[in-house]
Amino acid sequence: MDAAPEFSEEALEAGRLLFAGKAEFVLGVASLSGLPPSDRAEVCFAGRSNVGKSSLINALTGRAKLARSSAEPGRTRELNYFAIGDEGKLFLVDLPGFGYAKVSKTQTAAWTRLIKSYLRGRPSLRRVFLLVDARRGGLMDTDEEVMNLMDGAAVTYQVVLTKVDKVPKAEVEKTVAKITDKLKKRGAAHPVVRMTSAEKGFGIPELRAEIAGLAALG
Ligand SMILES: Nc1nc2c(ncn2[C@@H]2O[C@H](COP(=O)(O)OP(=O)(O)OP(=O)(O)O)[C@@H](O)[C@H]2O)c(=O)[nH]1
Ligand SMILES: [Mg+2]
């Protein structure tokens, strides 16, 4: 399993440097009016509740407790903004999970509305990383629903498999192939599916390089 044959040493080094700089929590946003100005490159982490969004942010930044992760789904309740790199030149955004039934219906509907308007209307959003738990073996309906929205709004997104440490290699590769095939039919999808384990650090340098490339776009 090769996490990323396509990155040069320079790109990997740029990723390492970006995330070796500062990483700070900036603010939690509960409604669109609370969003910070769109004044720098931004990437966000979306996906079903408990998929590992907060853990992935912690692995990328190498700070175990920057974003609050939990075995109990529904941990992240706001759009949490983190400033990364010296001068905080990049925003990473940790989103609340979707598809979590245990919080009230009204609360879920409010989050879903907030996430959807954010995904559709954020000018500085360079890419959405859509996280999918490798153990699921493919996309869930809620993933496809968010993809429809992003295709409609022409917001680029990239699928990232999480928790690959939990699944045999051959199975992970099968899942990647299956998802890659589905992405071909989608307008705004990045063609490459990334494999990661926040737990073991697998695929983390490559994802850092990917993000550093997006941050460098200006
Ligand atoms: N084995 C393994 N477990 C992981 C990995 N990433 C996350 N987890 C576990 O999965 C659970 C959920 O992780 P979170 O990072 O809180 O998930 P989240 O997507 O932020 O969840 P919400 O905020 O509820 O939407 C935690 O118990 C993590 O320890 C991984 O790479 N490998
Ligand atoms: Mg979370």
**Mean predicted lDDT score pLDDT of the chain:** 91
Dist. CA 67–CA 24, nearest whole Å: 10
* Cβ count within 10 A of residue 66: 21
Query: 54 C-alpha to center of ligand 1: Å?
Result: 7
Whole-number percent of the chain with pLDDT over 70: 94
The alpha carbon of 8 and the centre of ligand 2 are apart by a number of angstroms equal to: 31
| CB contact set of 65 (below 8 Å; sequence gap of 6+) | 58
- Starting at the edge strand found earlier in the chain, the sheet holding 23-29 runs 23-29, 79-84, 90-94, 41-47, 125-133, 157-162, 194-195
pTM > 0.75: yes or no: yes
Amino acid at site 103: V
Average pLDDT over residues 3-26: 89
Mutate to test the pocket of ligand 1, among 44, 50, 56 (most ligand atoms within 8 A of CB): 50
Nearest protein CA to atom 27 of ligand 1, as residue: 71
Task: Please report the atom of ligand 1 found closest to the CA of residue 58.
Answer: 15
Please state whether beta strands 90-94 and 125-133 pair in parallel, antiparallel, or not at all (unpaired). Answer: unpaired
Residue with CA nearest ligand 1 atom 6: 52
User: In CATH, what class is 9-31+40-215?
Assistant: alpha beta
Residues 100-124, mean pLDDT to the nearest whole number: 80
CA 53 to ligand 2 center in whole angstroms: 5
pLDDT (tens digit per residue) in 162-186: 999 999 999 999 999 999 999 999 9
Q: Are strands 79-84 and 90-94 parallel, antiparallel or unpaired?
A: antiparallel
Ligand 1 atom, smallest distance to 51 CA = 19
